[in-house]
Amino acid sequence: MQLQDILYTQGFGTRRVCAGLVQQGFVTIDGAVATDPSADVAVADGLRFTVQGTAWEYHEKAYLLLHKPAGTECSQKPSTWPSIYTLLPSPLRLRPNKGAVQGVQAIGRLDQDTTGLLLLTDDGQFIHRMGSPKHHVPKVYEVAVKHPLDDAQVQKLMAGVVLDDDPKPVRAAACEAVAPLHLRLTLTEGKYHQVKRMVAAVGNRVEALHRSQIGALTLPAELAPGQWRWLSAAEVEALRSAR
């Protein structure tokens, strides 16, 4: 693939901009400054290069894990709070996409006050696979509640509660009172404000909400709020097969 096309696929600008970056000596591969935008470069995940001092690793598709902090919105055009996309480097926000929106997209959304594990990608099929209720991908939430939990509340969440916009009961796949004010809830579908509404339906109230796990993928303890990392090939494959 031509070098300018590689830079383009990674989100470093239009092909013309990418060609200009090379011609101006801003691109380095294997420690050598590149000068020819049309030079053929062997492409494979793991190819490393530097653009204007920024080290980058080539990925045909981007699969990311973000530790979403509180006070952020999962929207490209936030209404009140800063967007989660400002936490990502520019190339990830500008990666070309066949759709109307450029860059990686969040798979589902977390409320502005909800923290924890969020996946982002520019792979439309992966977004559909992970977001589809047909595949029942489990998501684990750590819920701080206002009132002490009792067995009746846990049993109701497991048996199913009726939300105001859906006559069909919504059930937790798993539910555990970890502490009097700490509920661990596993869901396999994603409705609007689902955790908050389910907890309210059993007579309690969510005070804080954190997503700790999707499928077998757990939010790394060393990843601070606002930080992100690439998913490994093994993690992506495990998520694809999650049920």
Residue numbers annotated as active site: 111
Provide CB contacts within 8 A for 128, sequence distance 6+: none
Q: Which two tokens stand for residue 141?
A: 């939430």
* Pairing state between β 115-121 and 206-214: parallel
Q: Which two tokens stand for residue 163?
A: 């939300």
- Please tell me whether residue 19 adopts helix, strand or coil conformation: helix
CA dist., res. 118 & res. 106, Å (int): 7
Distances (CA, A) of 200 to 41, 153, 159, 186: 57, 10, 15, 16
* 1 alpha-carbon distance from chain centroid: 29
Q: Which two tokens stand for residue 180?
A: 């009097």
CA dist., res. 120 & res. 191, Å (int): 19
H/E stretch holding 155 reads helix 151-159
Q: Which of 142, 158, 153 is nearest to 219 (CA)?
A: 142
